[in-house]
Chain A
């Protein structure tokens, strides 16, 4: 099969809701929305708290440490990832009680395990934008 043509990796377009989140990511900080009444975090960022329906959300910086909830090795690449296959994607439960999904770096399909501890790391999408990813917490 002919190699697929490499296309640009899709970059997020920040919205009025997510602008603070992406601004922080580009400074290598990870913010979560926190509902002080429910005393719970939520992810992805929304226009209200799913716990109470109120718009009382605060952005709080978190450690970025968590454990792998599940994973998949992508063999047929997604748009913008042509030629990088195979690559690992992990669903990660952060210590703060939310689940994220992104690339898992510095780990092979032989080593990845559900329950292993990971930490956030950073990926350059292009000269202007960074994205969050994970790597084993060693």
Chain B
């Protein structure tokens, strides 16, 4: 299987992340500027060293059809390659692959891949298609309602143990407690009972199954391994495999909604680089809801279909365990800065691979799998599934 990332000629050389805050009152440009400034400082680069920009269209700027133009202009970037990706939470892992392809094709050499969103300050998205006619008038509670349907169907077909989801919630909360960038209100320990007793939103989905929306931003810099070495950067990680699938099963009118594009993209990403799940030192999945992480574990192949509950209950998922999961709290416990949340897990994986995760450091990791999820189509599971495998350089 063709893998354009196989020879490790692409490197991620730094990250920048800002504190997740609810209703910050700041503009999307200002939070982006803080994240950009941080990653430039981390790498020792200046604005004139960047010749490519990749970003995601956030709900706080969704009415702007020149988003990447305005963002690059605000940040003082003259670019020969400019990319806005709009597959939601799959956009930022997607941008690593898009930036790598652009660099390999010679359109640019050094890309700022930046995600910024302030949905708890300003939200201007207006999604039409099926939503205004066939979703909003039904009274379904948005994504929690859609995942309520998915969870009940999963329970019909398989065995769902809520204490397994509770264990995952607690493990991620432990990460958020020691993550200075997490939403401050979430930095309190919780128990499995707290999860089990949490208020229902849309049965059987509870409040603590869900993310806490907030404002935030994060950025990474992607370049050639050759340039990274010339620059003498202190840390680098290679993207070594990537697979993405959008509109999984779109032709089927009665799809199994417990199944997602990860059943294809997950095994495919591993196959591209000749790895199995045993070769993944830590898992940083996109986590809009806890059940989404369980579905990914099953469909990527960490365990069998329907075995997610038992896998979670029998596996140490803490930073020192067999498969550390979302060690910084993920979006569920650190907060979801809108679609900028789609890069939080990549930042945490880099922090771990670079040995900079302090209180939550995974012992000497060399590989990480990060994922992204985008959109919820009409009465289906999510629409975009992205799998990115990173290796310490």
Contact = CB atoms under 8 A, between A and B. Distances in A.
Interface of A: 9-15, 18, 22, 40-44, 50-51, 69-81, 84, 87, 89, 91, 93, 97-103, 109, 114, 125, 131
Contact of B137 (A71, A77, A125): A125
Interface of B: 130, 132-142, 144-145, 148-153, 156, 199-205, 250-251, 253-254, 257, 378-379
By DSSP majority rule, is chain A's interface helix, strand, loop, or mixed? loop
A78 B141 CA distance: 5
B136 A79 contact: yes
A100 B200 contact: no
A16 B254 CA distance: 26
B309 to A, nearest CB: 18
B378 A103 contact: no
A10 B203 CA distance: 22
Contacts of A44: 130, 133-134, 378
B132 A89 contact: no
A114 B153 CA distance: 8
A103 B138 contact: yes
Given A10-B137, A73-B203, A125-B137, A101 B378 contact: yes
A12 B152 contact: no
Given A72-B145, A74-B140, A89-B149, A40 B253 contact: yes
A89 B138 contact: yes
Contacts of B202: 72-76, 89
Closest 7 A-B residue pairs measured CB to CB?
A72-B148, A12-B133, A70-B153, A10-B136, A73-B203, A81-B139, A75-B200
Contacts of A109: 203
B253 A91 contact: no
A84 B132 CA distance: 20
Given A50-B250, A70-B153, A100-B379, A11 B137 contact: yes
Contacts of A78: 136, 139-142, 145
A99 B203 CA distance: 20
A12 B203 contact: no
A1 B127 CA distance: 30
